[in-house]
Structure 1
Amino acid sequence: MDPPGFTASLVAGGVAGVSVDLILFPLDTIKTRLQSPQGFNKAGGFRGIYAGIPSAAIGSFPNASAFFITYEYVKWFLHADSSSYLMPVKHMLAASAGEVIPFSLVQFPLWESLKALWSWRQDRMVDSWQSAVCGAFAGGFAAMVTTPLDVAKTRIMLAKAGSSTASGNVLSVLHEVWRIQGLSGLFAGVFPRMAAISLGGFIFLGAYDQTRSLLLKLGKESP
């Protein structure tokens, strides 16, 4: 396998990161407020849902660029020794190298598996819009199964200094949420989170594939 276009991955990752942040920032704000222990309205409701978007957009370009160039490099590096049944492991390693969070460990192997299945069914590589659809499904599923961890993260971030929650013990926070609110508390905000991340997966991974393919094509056409 030839080395992938690392420059194309770098630029495409940044474009994808900025695109998804600009479009989905308000939904993430709403989701965070739904998970707040003080309740949605007291946490701000629908007020100021665009506050902080400039800094998020500026930071997303280098972060997404770094993630994707690492992801593509690790995939390329491991490709020579990977058999078909080890492909999900390769994608998990690549995702964890780029960004060590449970969400990526679920989303990216599923995204790659769905693309591979679609490619096999139609006997050719998926188009960018098909990659985007796979990204939406993968993102939505990953969002659902990791919602309790996201709830714990939100509670820890919003906790008062010195409280037991602020100590950052995720398992303790999850147990407390379960004890007081049960399953509904652990999955608070799951539907807007799934909607936002499904749409985000469609935009993020679709934009990445489209931009990267375009840059690679331009590179081949250049003298």
Structure 2
Amino acid sequence: MGEGCLTLDDFGSLQDPLPFQWQFLAGAVAGVSEILTMYPLDVVKTRFQLQVGTGGADGYSSIGDCFKKIIKNEGFGTLYRGIIPPIMVEAPKRATKFAANEQYTILYRNILGSDINKQGLAILTGVSAGITEAFLVVPFELVKIRLQDKGNAGKYNGSLDALSKIVKHEGPLALFNGLEATLWRHAMWNGGYFGCIQGVKNAIPEAETPNGNLARNFVAGAVGGTFATMLNTPFDVVKTRIQNQAKGTVLKYNWTLPGVAMVYREEGFRALYKGFVPKVLRLGPGGGILLVVFDTVSTLIRKHVLLETV
């Protein structure tokens, strides 16, 4: 072997964490696969979260009604309006999710010892990865929300125009509006997602075939995505409303927990879960897609990249 080649000792068994750059690649492929498949549901979710009450005659009464009205009144392409910012951030975002989770796993095992409860470790690393991920995604989330709001139709001519106008009229720091709410949203989702995955995998017997392993991962990821969505939707509702407030308007929502209390007080408990159905339809199966694609790409890297260098 030439100098600089990996040996088995460099990455251990096939189930040890990949080197960071390969974790990043696997997470990126998983993230882009998920968003291309499920993005229209994110547009529908945002419309419901921004809708106060029933929304009047132009309001949406169901997911089907929302899809129908968007396509009829705004065109099919509107279901993908605002996708450029998520696509741009999706690779580093999902890569950060999985790579940071695995790096935090190594860190916490070294600090707390290898005998730490697996599910407790998964929750701790998930929360930490979520906080790390949140700092990265805030500006992209803000541009996406502005583009998805039907009230902003005609105001922005695409992602770069939206970015330019936000910075020009509201200042560069406006891109980080909603950071605190985003921290809550991502910490809760990632902690719930990775913690639940570990719990489900503990309950489901090990698969004996590759297809069985894919199915096991999809079930664990889908259950994890559903549970995580149940945990974080109230924070997501408030984050969406905070980020849709332009400078110069009356800022009704400022901080997350007071925002959650305000939505509950003015609109009731159900309002905290506005957009939950399209969100869970995306992030339940989407969570399964994420885990399956990440695991599949990681396995291919281990077999066809790392082992070939030994």
1:5 is aligned to 2:3: no
Tell me: CA distance 1:87–1:28, structure 2 relative to 1, closer, same or farther (3 Å).
same
5 Å matches for 1:114-125? 114-119=200-205
Q: Given the alignment of the two structures, is residue 211 of structure 1 paired with residue 297 of structure 2, yes or no?
A: yes
Residue 165 of structure 1 aligns with which residue?
Answer: 252
User: In the TM superposition, what whole-angstrom CA distance separates every residue of 1:47-91 from its partner, at most 9, and x where no partner exists?
Assistant: 31201223321221122222222211222343461326x222211
TM-score (norm 2): 0.63
Q: Which residue of 2 aligns with 1:65?
A: 95
Listed as ranges, the gaps of 5+ residues in structure 2 are 1-10, 61-65, 132-186
One-letter code of the match for 2:24? L
1:18 aligns to what? 32
Equivalent position amino acid for 2:192 in 1: V
1:196-207 equivalent positions in 2, closer than 5 A = 196-207=282-293
1:127 lines up with 2:213 in the alignment: yes
In the aligned structure 1, how far is the partner of 2:127 from the partner of 2:264?
Answer: 28
- Which runs of no fewer than 5 residues in structure 1 stay unpaired? none
Equivalent-residue separation in structure 1 for 2:258 and 2:250 (angstroms): 12
Distance 2:38 2:107 in 1: 33
Could you tell me the percent identity over the aligned residues?
A: 26
In terms of mean alpha carbon deviation, does 199-208 or 170-179 score higher? 170-179
Q: Which amino acid aligns with 2:23?
A: S
2:230 counterpart residue number:
144
Q: Does 1:34 align with 2:66?
A: no
Structure 1 Cα separation of the partners of residues 195 and 226 of structure 2: 13
2:80 to 19, 34, 50: 50
Matched, 1:103 2:189: yes
Shift of 1:180: 2.1
Query: Cα distance, 1:160 vs. partner?
Result: 5.0
How many residues get paired? Answer: 220
Distance 1:4 1:176 in 2: 43
Q: What one-letter code is carried by the residue in structure 2 that aligns with 1:93? A: L
2:34 touches 2:290 (CA, 8 Å); kept in 1? yes
Q: Which structure's CA Rg is the greater one?
A: 2
CA RMSD, 1 decimal: 2.7
Structure 1 position 92 matched with structure 2 position 126: no
For 2:130 and 2:28, the matched residues in 1 are separated by 15
Going from structure 1 to structure 2, the CA distance change for 1:5 and 1:183 (only over 3 Å counts) comes to same
CA contact (8 A) 1:8 1:216 kept: no
- The match for 2:264 is 178
Cα deviation, residue 221, structure 1: 4.4
TM-superposed deviation, 1:21: 1.3
Alpha-carbon shift at residue 140 of structure 1 (Å): 0.7
**TM-score normalised by the chain length of structure 1:** 0.86
Q: CA deviation at 1:181?
A: 1.6
Q: Conserved in 2, the CA contact under 8 Å of 1:36 and 1:155?
A: yes
Please give the alpha-carbon distance, in whole angstroms, between the structure 1 residues aligned to 2:290 and 2:191: 16
